[in-house]
Chain A
Amino acid sequence: MMEYIATIGLETHIQLNTNTKAFCSCKADSWGDVPNTNICPICTGQPGALPSTNQAMVEKALMLCLAINADINMDSFFDRKNYMYADLPGGYQVTQNDRSIGRGGYLDFLMDDGREVRCHIHNLHMEEDAGKTKNEGDIRLIDMNRCGVPLVEMVTMPDLHSADEAATYLTRLRQLLRWLGISEANMERAHLRCDANVSISPKESNELGKKCEIKNINSIEAVRTAINFEIERQIREINAGRKIEQWTIEWDNDTQELRKMRSKETAADYRYFREPNLMPVHISEEFLESVKLKMPELPIRRRERFINELGLPAYDASVLTTEREISDFFENACKIYNGDNKRVSNWMMNEVLRVMNETGCTVSELKITVRDLADIIQMVDQKTINTTTGKNLVDMVQKTGKRPKLLVEEQGLGLVSDDAAIRDISAKIVSSNPKEATSYQNGKESLIGWFVGQVMREMRGKADPEKAKEILLELLKKN
């Protein structure tokens, strides 16, 4: 059977997390708000109202351009895309057509198997969102809260060759958007929307097959499933001797099905022309420099640095760079701890991320501070507390908001290294467990761990386990 290679390009719409809309001062994010409450004469297309460009939108779009190494148009234009629809109150969408803020560029990302993929970007432009249409029986309901919300549309080149690559690209894009702080990038809330163009061609062929566009894919898992289904469908079609037709396909997430929407689009004429109400978007050298200064180290660079400079294993470096806040937390803890970074990484991944998982909180909501983590690790190192106590302390700090040293003091969690106290308890344990003591002496030496455990339990974890082991070995030998 013929082997096929898939070619995929993604069109993403990214909702920028500005406070206000693209061209008016209405609140931009209306999640959970009553329909038609964040609206004004401008975003509802009242006669005579005029748009004004939101600088925050330009700044955030510019940050994305810089992050993907795009060519920046220092003068870009807004255009009108003309069409009439009830959720487009002005009768045209303000967008950027032939001279957008960014062109070209690429996003590099790693696949799980360590393979690096470079996906080129075709173009990146700013535009306003339309409203939401909801059909209820015969009635069409329009919510204009979303009218004028700022979006960046970012279109990739056909550089992706599997559903996995497409899903990973989106995961990395989402990570990047949050890392830059320019979008909440929540796909379920449509902050990040994705359409996928999918085609297949025989492996040795240089020509691309006819593409189909899948619309309305609203999660990363759905992207993976929908693209896989579509690749399978296209292979089935070809194997059955049929030709691929250029379809627009809708992904139904409820039934997990692809559904044909229409055949090759009758190309709509949007009659683009310059939006005369807005001046060109001019990016001055000063503005560009100021935005460059605000740019954080990007995740892929930071991951490399964690490996090369902090000596982390690749896996740790990946986990600790999924979110900017996590990686900042980790790195700051390393600075304070000033010791083995891998040790901080272990505590970070095993304890801090666990607490975040269990409580569902974000880094900024953590009660445990960078210093707290460093203090806890240091107390364990200095045997002021044992590892188990250290782990419990992480939870206790998160629960109480008290500093770990204070908790150790208040609750007497410090290790007892007083020989006499441990010796008393150890003697008691050995004498009250003669059967186990005999077994040990008859050669079942692994029981030493059990004895240590008993002593620890009796002393509620405060004994220095090394010390206890030492004393127990001595006592058991004596007998």
Chain B
Amino acid sequence: MTELIELSAIEQAALIREKKISSVELLEATLTQIEKVDGRPGSLAPYVEQPEDLEKVHAFLLITREHAMAKAKEVDRKISSGEPVGPLAGVPYSAKDVYCTKGIQTTAASRILEGWKPSYSSTVIEKMDQADAVLIGKVNLDEFTFGGTTETTAYKPTVRNPWSYNRVPGGSSGGSAAAVSSCEGAISLGTDTGGSIREPAAFTGIVGLKPTYGRVSRYGVIPFASSMDTIGPLTRTVSDSALVLKEIAGFDPRDNCTVRVPVDDYLFDLQKGIEGMRIGISPDYLKITYLDDQGNYATAPVDPEIEASVWKAAEVLRALGAEIIEDVPMSNTKYSVPAYFVISRIEAYSNLQRYDGLKYGHSTQQSVKDMYDLYYKSRGEGFGYQAKLRLLTGMFASQEKFYEKYYRRAQRARALMRRDFDEAFDPNGQYRLDGILTPSTPSPAFRFGDAVASDSLLIQFADQFTTPMNFAGTPGISFPCGISQEGLPIGLQITGYDYCESKILRTAYAYEQATKDADWRKMKPAALR
């Protein structure tokens, strides 16, 4: 039998329900795995790299051992006394440290929230608790989710890619991706504002689901850009993502942007297959579009291995009965990065205004002249470089005199982008798609430091294929489709129309089942070898 920790959440839950193992047993196995591979947790203390740090994952900021043990025992008690239990009974999971957890330190990986313990839990944490999942800890991320590598965290050491320790795990849900990929729990909850679930999932060879905006409550999750923030799972299998989504989705009176659209039975629907589904491929998602030095649009190809994997996957889906529609225009994709930049920076700047050193978190120890001096010093000490950069760009772009030039224009670009999706998925339109197959990222995971040091377009535009869905509000799932010649995972994305998570999960599942015996699936991350 495969080791317990390597099983999917569904398999783990089944063993517990069938009383073949106890929840406590599974928890202990998971904690042992964390001890084995995770190394020291990220901390605010001055960071001095130790040789042993280089071969560890460092996904976790905090292990909630006692809390988890109490929950695991409760689940075991319920099962032994024949009480009903939730679908995730006894399954250990971690949460990106932007999920507020009542009475448990929540950091957003920023010094500015030092010592803060929320008085409430986010809706999704409550729902996971109702499903009887066991929260084992909080995982690292880019500070306030600002980044795609987890390097901007104030808590060092930062997370390493379990496949190759000198590579980034992606971000901002880098801790989540690394934890799941190295079997420190079968599930981690992440957030995705521009690709922060899908990119790290692709970089670590796992499944990452970004649901439709409004499908899952954001209440109690520290925001980045509120009009694009989404909440979703990272798992090793598609069915696990389907199961978690079912548990966390739905209307929440505490989040005005959630909707009363019924939640599908995603897990059940997986079995329906993809016969007759129309899957599109767009040339606009097979190249990088950017502004050159002269301010003209220029293009660059994606990594050839990645483009090849898109076509290979298309063949697999075709063989399963899907119809592949090539040359679907998504011509406004090129506006995505600059327009996303403007809107996300403006919302981020405004969302950061509440951290003032007065109410919670870090407050300066220096003497201060007045209230504004207190703000200045506390925020100066509390925010990291990337947070300050986003604050300043956001403040700049949101000036009243630039309203038309930046914010309004970006909103118009957003509407155009949205129209691309509306047309592609229009059931009476030319394309009538059920999904679009794209690369998740233009390249596999890159090396530490490259995000700022390298001038590679593939790195600078790492989120070009993921931000459009945040802009449009549509769902997307990244799933593994191979291993590069360098031994790094490659991820593909299926995006669908609003609230069509069921269809994209089905597609990813069909692919997963069709390739389950592929050689590359037998390869394991370094952390598991």
Interface residues of A (CB under 8 A from B): 41, 44-53, 80, 82, 84-86, 89-92, 140, 269-274, 276-279
Contacts and interface: CB of A to CB of B under 8 A. Distances in A.
Contacts of B106: 47
Given A91-B350, A276-B227, A51 B256 contact: yes
Contact of B350 (A49, A52, A85, A271): A271
A46 B219 CA distance: 11
A86 B355 CA distance: 11
A48 B353 contact: no
A41 B220 CA distance: 9
Contacts of B220: 48-49
B122 A48 contact: yes
A47 B100 contact: yes
19 contacts: A47-B106, A47-B116, A47-B222, A47-B355, A48-B99, A48-B100, A48-B122, A48-B223, A49-B219, A52-B254, A52-B256, A84-B375, A272-B400, A273-B347, A273-B398, A277-B226, A277-B255, A277-B256, A279-B256
B445 interface: no
B54 interface: no
B241 to A, nearest CB: 23
B360 A46 contact: yes
Given A46-B360, A49-B220, A84 B353 contact: yes
B356 A86 contact: yes
A279 B257 contact: yes
A92 B350 contact: yes
B354 A91 contact: yes
Contacts of A48: 98-100, 118, 122, 218-223
Nearest to A23: B256
Contact of A50 (B255, B349, B403): B255
A46 B407 contact: no
A17 B36 CA distance: 59
B119 A41 contact: yes
Interface string B382-399: 000000000000010011
Interface string B108-121: 10000100101110
A86 B358 contact: yes
Given A41-B119, A48-B222, A91-B353, A271 B398 contact: yes
A278 to B, nearest CB: 5
Given A52-B253, A92-B353, A271 B399 contact: yes
A47 B113 CA distance: 9
Which A-B residue pairs are the 8 nearest by beta carbons?
A91-B353, A276-B227, A276-B226, A271-B398, A91-B354, A45-B354, A47-B222, A48-B220
A89 B350 contact: no
B346 interface: yes
Contact of B356 (A52, A91, A269): A91
Contacts of B347: 273, 276
A44 B353 CA distance: 13
Contacts of A269: 399-400
Contacts of A274: 227
A140 B370 CA distance: 10
Nearest to B118: A46
B346 A90 contact: no
Interface in B211-226: 218-223, 225-226
B120 A50 contact: no
Interface in B166-185: none
Nearest to B259: A279
Contacts of A272: 400, 403
A284 to B, nearest CB: 15
Given A47-B113, A52-B254, A86 B371 contact: yes
Interface residues of B, number: 45
B20 interface: no
B223 to A, nearest CB: 7
Interface string B363-378: 0000000010001000
B353 A90 contact: yes
Contact of B118 (A47, A85, A273): A47
Contacts of A51: 256
A278 B256 contact: yes
Given A82-B349, A86-B356, A86-B358, 13 more contacts: A41-B119, A45-B359, A46-B119, A46-B359, A47-B223, A84-B356, A89-B359, A91-B352, A91-B354, A271-B400, A273-B403, A277-B226, A277-B256
Contact of A47 (B225, B349, B354, B398): B354
Interface string B216-255: 0011111101110000000000000000000000000111
Nearest to B352: A91
A51 B225 CA distance: 15
A53 B99 CA distance: 23
Contacts of A49: 120, 219-220
A193 to B, nearest CB: 24
A53 B356 CA distance: 26
Contacts of A270: 400
A270 B353 CA distance: 12
Interface string B327-369: 0000000000000000000110110111110111000000000
Interface in B74-119: 98-100, 106, 108, 113, 116, 118-119
A84 B218 CA distance: 24
A53 B256 contact: yes
A315 to B, nearest CB: 51
Most chain B Cβ neighbours within 10 Å, of A44, A48, A277: A48
Contacts of A86: 356, 358, 371
A175 to B, nearest CB: 35
Contacts of B253: 52
B126 to A, nearest CB: 13
B359 A273 contact: no
A41 B120 contact: yes
Identify the interface centre among B108, B222, B353, B359: most chain A CB within 10 Å of its CB.
B353
Contacts of A89: 354, 359
A140 B375 CA distance: 15
A82 B395 CA distance: 10
A276 B228 CA distance: 9
Contacts of A271: 346, 350, 395, 398-400
B374 to A, nearest CB: 9
A89 B100 CA distance: 18
A421 to B, nearest CB: 75
A90 B352 CA distance: 9
A51 B351 CA distance: 13
A127 B122 CA distance: 26
B328 to A, nearest CB: 29
A57 to B, nearest CB: 13
A50 B223 CA distance: 10
Contacts of A85: 371
B237 to A, nearest CB: 29
Contacts of B403: 272-273
B111 to A, nearest CB: 14
Nearest to B374: A86
A51 to B, nearest CB: 7
Given A91-B356, A278-B256, A47 B371 contact: no
B120 A82 contact: no
Contacts of A140: 371
Given A46-B119, A50-B219, A276-B226, A82 B353 contact: yes
Contacts of B359: 44-46, 89
A272 B354 CA distance: 16
A96 to B, nearest CB: 15
Contacts of B98: 48
A50 B400 contact: no
A174 to B, nearest CB: 33
Nearest to B398: A271
A46 B120 contact: yes
A443 B346 CA distance: 98
Contacts of B356: 84, 86, 91
A33 to B, nearest CB: 20
Nearest to B255: A50
A90 B354 contact: yes
Contacts of B118: 41, 46-48
